[in-house]
A and B are shown apart, each in its own frame.
Chain A
Amino acid sequence: MTVHSFQEHFDSLIDRELTIEPRDWMPDDYRKTLIRQISQHAHSEIVGMLPEGNWITRAPSLRRKAVLLAKVQDEAGHGLYLYSAAETLGVTRDELYDQLHTGKAKYSSIFNYPTLTWADMGAIGWLVDGAAIMNQVPLCRTSYGPYARAMVRVCKEESFHQRQGFEIMLTLSKGTEIQKKLAQDAFNRWWWPSLMMFGPPDAESPHTEQSVRWRIKRLTNDELRQKFVDVTVEQAKVLGLEVPDKDLKWNEERGHFDFGAINWDEFWNVVKGNGPCNKQRLETRKKAWEDGKWVRDAAMAHAEKRKAKKDAVKAA
């Protein structure tokens, strides 16, 4: 086959909503974009453990602690599914870690905000995981097979994450005056960064068209953001909390909520590394990786030694 017919075959798989598998021919840009997108997602899961890890030892009850531990463990699992999917595209795990640790690769900027109170565990589950689910459900039908299959697993597990967060918010908002205040304060701080999670507006997102064509993105940033606002505003009513946006208004004509302007300067500033916790998150990650080196080496040495012993017994 010539490059031209390879391209034709690839395009026809995309057009027929079929999946591309690791050994299929694919355009270089498709491969590169996927590696970037999947690894960014994997890094987000891994770094995303840190803000919540902060509260495991201080969870208010054994039940909350067990739930939070299970959620953080799920996030580690999600990171691993996604790293494996990225590796099928010909990049090694060490290269991916290296890109994260040197700051070459990005992760979701929401994890650069601090978790100040227990209510933040509720807000993160409800809003951050809610936004993530909104983003991820359409990716279960993405064109790259290993990525789509990883996303199916992730989405299945993620819905408990959002529910446990909402439950925390509900308990607090039905609690004492102080508890309700904590819930509202967490909502105020996480609402806008959650809206930013969907990425820059479509007009400033130059790769969207190509990514939609390749089916590695199924809805645009603005479409997903609107969906999230519409759903979440209704949920806030159930909680009896106030959405921290004075411009929020139902638009009868559009059939959607209108919402206020997002502070994109803040978004870009955090992306560039100047958020409240960027430095701390990366340092924690690097330290965990470096401190774990002797364990990885020891496990490998142990495996080699055992294998040598086994081989010697076989030879004898």
Chain B
Amino acid sequence: MTQEINKTNKSEWPLWEVFIRSKVGLDHKHAGSLHAADAEMAIENARDVYTRRMEGVSIWVVESKFIHASDPGESESLYDPANDKIYRHPTFYNLPDEVKYM
């Protein structure tokens, strides 16, 4: 059974995540994923799949297996430290009306 699985996985090209910069000055944003034999092919495929209408000026690809993600089940404790620190926001501070542009 394990052998069977290895056989199918071997024939399948690895999965890549695609990030696209849509305009000069903006950051790269996740666009989707695709299969390709190597990074060069992944970039060419990403051009054909995700930028057929000039949606990008720059492409990043990374093999999906190298992405590490936070656990949604632990998001409460993960973000907990930021929860009670409203003084990190400018709206926490009261200023007299005379003060403009601050």
Contacts and interface: CB of A to CB of B under 8 A. Distances in A.
B38 interface: yes
Interface of A: 1, 21, 23-25, 70, 73-74, 77, 80-81, 84, 87, 92-95, 149-150, 153, 157, 293, 296-297, 299-300, 302-303, 306-307
Given A84-B33, A94-B12, A21 B72 contact: yes
Q: Interface residues of B: mostly helix, strand, loop or mixed?
A: mixed
Contacts of B41: 299, 303
A1 B71 CA distance: 13
B34 A299 contact: no
Contacts of B33: 84, 87
A245 to B, nearest CB: 37
A77 B11 CA distance: 22
Interface of B: 8-9, 11-13, 15, 32-35, 37-38, 41, 48-49, 52-53, 69, 71-73
A80 B9 contact: no
Given A80-B49, A296-B11, 10 more contacts: A21-B72, A23-B71, A25-B73, A92-B8, A92-B9, A153-B32, A157-B53, A297-B11, A302-B38, A303-B41
B49 A94 contact: no
A299 B12 CA distance: 11
A21 B8 CA distance: 27
B12 to A, nearest CB: 5
Contact of B13 (A23, A74, A300): A300
9 contacts: A21-B72, A74-B52, A77-B49, A84-B33, A93-B12, A150-B32, A153-B32, A299-B13, A302-B38
A80 B47 CA distance: 13
Contacts of B34: 80, 84
Nearest to B38: A303
A157 B8 CA distance: 33
Q: Which 10 A-B pairs have the closest CB atoms?
A: A303-B38, A303-B37, A299-B37, A84-B33, A94-B12, A300-B37, A24-B72, A23-B72, A94-B8, A80-B49
A149 B11 CA distance: 28
